[in-house]
Amino acid sequence: MKLLRLSVRDWRNLPEVDVECDADFVVFWGDNAQGKTNLLEAVYGLATLKSFRTRKNRELVRWGADRALVKGRIHDGHVERELKLEVTHKSRSATIDGKPPRVLREYFDGIRAVLFAPEDVAIVRGAPDLRRAFVDRAAFTASSTFLEVAQLHRRLLDQKAALLRRFPADRVQLSIFDEQLAQAGAHLVLRRRRIVGELDERFGELHSRISGHGDSTMRYRSCLPAGDEVEPLAAAYLALLEQSRDGDIERGANRVGPQRDDLVLQLDEKSARNFASQGQARSVVLALKLSELLAARERGARPLFLLDDLSSELDRLRRGRLVELLSDLDLQCFVTTTDPSVVAAGTSADVRSYEVENGGVTG
Ligand SMILES: Nc1ncnc2c1ncn2[C@@H]1O[C@H](COP(=O)(O)OP(=O)(O)OP(=O)(O)O)[C@@H](O)[C@H]1O
Ligand SMILES: [Mg+2]
């Protein structure tokens, strides 16, 4: 998959940007606060219909404008399509070749992206919800059908939470919800385990290529027992839900389930969450994100790789190794940096560089 051309209108501080991207590396370079991350965010927005920095539409629209547009010409190996995201203060909408997709999945089947941004080190050192979000994102990147699995579980959890807030909650209704929740949760855990297995196959090697050493592993830690069949997992989950029912009613909250699971990351058999240095955490997250990309590729998707702030993220040696690794992986990579020599020095691949200055782009 390749993004051939990108057009941005009134997105953040970018009034009007048009860039040709037909290259393996597209570099947006320039001083601080010029619009580099905004441009990367526009590519991410085109691919995911979300921002990685805000949930608020209003923040994405240039101050004083009433709508932002991001358009991309995408070649997926067979056909070229034009994808478009339009954001107003109150809405977001997407089209494929000018038409709204029948279901969102149709849109996401046309474009996928994996992002690495400086704040992603929190995946290693932060709370479990960030690691679960990473696992769910990776499962989605590998297969867009994951979206429905995750959404069903989330919806049932929210509905059950609403029931529990009314005291005392209705036990008959709760038991009906729990049956459904147990099924949905079992499917969710299976999908998460499967993707974590696929990520783990690549993670160790990618991590040692970036960091230069180390034995790194990952494991999905669940409240459910081991196993790869739905029914026994659903039965185990239901038993847990029944056990905790009295306490849940008492506290008005749902306390057990895969919404509490975690991804355990280890470096040399020690918890990365507790012991990784800042730089080690960055290398781990980069390896996670590249594992996500390669796992998706195994299923036939070819996500773009978006790398925000390459210059500040790693020391010179690790940066060099990363750029070399990215060139070996045969992907299209969008990079922002304050130092444009970073990419050019490390690769013989095809590079297009654009200077970003005060919301404008020259290249
Ligand atoms: N909705 C908006 N309208 C206009 N300008 C905005 C909007 N949102 C953010 N900005 C401005 O965009 C500017 C550039 O931000 P961006 O994060 O892209 O910088 P950058 O080039 O990545 O800088 P750095 O090297 O520091 O990461 C910021 O100064 C910010 O004030
Ligand atoms: Mg930036």
DSSP 234-256: HHHHHHHHHHTHHHHHHHTS---
- Closest-CA residue, ligand 1 atom 13, reads 33
Average pLDDT over residues 24-51: 97
Ligand nearest to the CA of 42: 1
E strand or H helix that includes residue 19: strand 14-20
Identify the DSSP state of 99: B
Residue 51 tokens read as: 């921002």
Integer Cα distance of 320 and 324 in angstroms? 6
- CB-CB contact of 138 with 191 (8 Å): no
Q: Is 186 exposed, middle or buried (0-12, 13-18, 19+ CB in 10 A)?
A: buried
- The domains of the chain, with CATH numbers, are 1-112+302-363 (3.40.50.300), 123-301 (1.20.1050.90)
Average pLDDT over residues 222-240: 96
Which tops the pLDDT comparison, 61 or 323? Answer: 61
Residues 242-299: pLDDT tens digits?
Answer: 999 999 999 999 999 999 999 999 999 999 999 999 889 999 999 999 999 999 999 8
Ligand nearest to the CA of 31: 1
Per DSSP, what are the bridge partners of residue 48? none
Other beta carbons within 10 angstroms of residue 254's beta carbon come to 23
Q: In this prediction, what percent of the chain has a pLDDT beyond 70? A: 99
Average pLDDT over residues 9-35: 97
Atom of ligand 1 nearest to the CA of 61: 1
Ligand 1 pocket test: which of 10, 12, 43, 53 has the largest number of ligand atoms within 8 Å of its C-beta? Answer: 12
Integer Cα distance of 204 and 34 in angstroms? 36
Instruction: Say what the pLDDT of residue 322 is.
Output: 87
- CB-CB contact of 303 with 113 (8 Å): yes
Q: Is 85 exposed, middle or buried (0-12, 13-18, 19+ CB in 10 A)?
A: buried
Residue 28 Cα to ligand 1 middle (Å): 13
What separation in angstroms does the CA of 89 have from each of 40, 60, 62, 100, 132? Answer: 20, 8, 10, 19, 30
Q: For residue 94, which of 115, 77, 70 has the smallest C-alpha distance?
A: 70
Band of residue 313 on the pLDDT scale cut at 50, 70, 90: low
Among the ranges given (47-51, 82-86, 328-332, 334-338), the one the predictor scored with the smallest mean pLDDT: 328-332
Q: pTM score > 0.85 for this model?
A: yes
Is the pLDDT reported for residue 332 higher than 90?
yes
Residue 118 Cα to ligand 2 middle (Å): 9
Is the pLDDT reported for residue 347 higher than 70?
no
Residues near ligand 1 with C-beta < 6 Å?
12-13, 30, 32-38, 59, 61-63, 309, 336, 338, 356
Integer Cα distance of 270 and 124 in angstroms? 13
- Closest-CA residue, ligand 1 atom 19, reads 33
Is the pLDDT reported for residue 348 higher than 90?
no
Residue 306 Cα to ligand 2 middle (Å): 12
Q: Is 58 exposed, middle or buried (0-12, 13-18, 19+ CB in 10 A)?
A: exposed
- Closest-CA residue, ligand 1 atom 29, reads 33
